[in-house]
A and B are shown apart, each in its own frame.
Chain A
Amino acid sequence: MVERRVEPSTATVGLMLPAFADVAALTQTERAERWTLRGPDAALDGLCAALGLARPQRLRATVAGSRAAFWLGPDEILALAELGAAPVDFGAGSDGAAVEVGDKFVGLDLAGRRADAVLASHCPQNLSLAAFPVGKVSRTLYAKVEIVLWRRGASSFRIEVVRSFAPYLVAALTAAAEDLAALDRR
């Protein structure tokens, strides 16, 4: 089965994403295609293979080129791909499901000297490098909204957030960054 192509909307978060240069910079990522992959491991193997990716292990991501797959749960993967590539053929007869959710999420990159502190201000997880090493991905919370958090570097994170929650999340991250910048100035 070749999945139906749905052009993701051009809508952005609609907010300025200020950079607190010495704290952290927040940028909206390029629009992307995204899929929720559900099913048993064997089906997920096939669905990930259709994207050219290995199936991620628990709380980890796999990356190949501009594509990535995040482990969200024992039967759930969130896959990302940049726009414009050939349509993905997930094949027929699989007992898994691949649902295109490109417009469900907005991607945000948070990077900078104190990116982990900005996140830790409202994220309940332990974000130390020992507990949340580079390459780890987890669905969690930031303030009142659910996010998917992927650590790409010691102080570089990718956040996937449901589109309608994005303005709140950006405001909360901005406020946290402002607070940290103010503390630094003291």
Chain B
Amino acid sequence: MLNIRCPYCEEDRPEIEFRNAGEAHIARPDEPDRVDDRQWADFLYTRDNPKGWHAERWRHVHGCGRFFNAVRHSVDDRILLTYKAGEPKPDIERMLREREA
């Protein structure tokens, strides 16, 4: 079981209180009627599936109910950090370098 830090509750909580909600930072096109079908399909369906660090949305569904983002390693499930929805995507490479330094 993972312990996930909820950035709204500011506590580590057990994974069972959360739901994963897919890749983070997928921006809806500002003007949907000006994108073609291909771009719209990409927005709806095309997702990264990296082997490694991955920014994804989670929801504290059995807690405060809020969506937030987490940077999780898709192989070993380590979570580098969690941050509130709306905050910019962190520079993962730089964070890893700083951690090793």
Do residues B62 and A141 form an inter-chain contact, with CB atoms below 8 A?
Answer: yes
Asked if A76 meets B64 with Cβ closer than 8 Å, knowing A58-B9, A59-B9, the reply is yes
Do residues A74 and B63 form an inter-chain contact, with CB atoms below 8 A?
Answer: no
Q: Is B90 interfacial (CB-CB < 8 Å)?
A: no
Q: How would you classify the secondary structure of chain A's contact residues: helix, strand, loop or mixed?
A: strand
Expressed in whole angstroms, the minimum distance between the Cβ of B59 and any Cβ of chain A is: 11
Q: How far is the CA of A138 from the CA of B62 in the complex (A)?
A: 9
Do residues A139 and B62 form an inter-chain contact, with CB atoms below 8 A?
Answer: yes
Do residues B13 and A125 form an inter-chain contact, with CB atoms below 8 A?
Answer: yes
Interface flags, A142-158, vs B, CB<8A=1, else 0: 00001000000000000
* B63 surroundings in chain A (CB, below 8 A): 73, 138-140
Q: Is A72 interfacial (CB-CB < 8 Å)?
A: yes
Residue of B nearest to A145 (CB): B62
Q: How large is the interface on A (under 10, 10 to 19, 20 to 34, 35 or more residues)?
A: 10 to 19
Q: Which of A47-93 contact B (CB under 8 A)?
A: 58-59, 72-74, 76
Expressed in whole angstroms, the minimum distance between the Cβ of B94 and any Cβ of chain A is: 29
* B16 surroundings in chain A (CB, below 8 A): 124, 141
Q: Is B14 interfacial (CB-CB < 8 Å)?
A: yes
Expressed in whole angstroms, the minimum distance between the Cβ of A120 and any Cβ of chain B is: 12
Residue of A nearest to B10 (CB): A58
Q: Is B65 interfacial (CB-CB < 8 Å)?
A: yes
* B91 surroundings in chain A (CB, below 8 A): none
Interface flags, A114-125, vs B, CB<8A=1, else 0: 000000000011
Q: Is B40 interfacial (CB-CB < 8 Å)?
A: no
Do residues A139 and B64 form an inter-chain contact, with CB atoms below 8 A?
Answer: yes
Q: How far is the CA of A72 from the CA of B17 in the complex (A)?
A: 13
Asked if A72 meets B65 with Cβ closer than 8 Å, knowing A124-B16, A124-B17, A141-B16, the reply is yes
Q: Could you jot down 29 A-B contacts, CB within 8 Å?
A: A58-B10, A59-B9, A59-B11, A72-B64, A72-B65, A73-B8, A73-B63, A73-B64, A73-B65, A73-B66, A74-B8, A76-B65, A124-B1, A124-B13, A124-B14, A124-B16, A124-B17, A125-B13, A125-B14, A138-B63, A139-B63, A139-B64, A139-B65, A140-B17, A140-B62, A140-B63, A141-B16, A141-B17, A141-B62
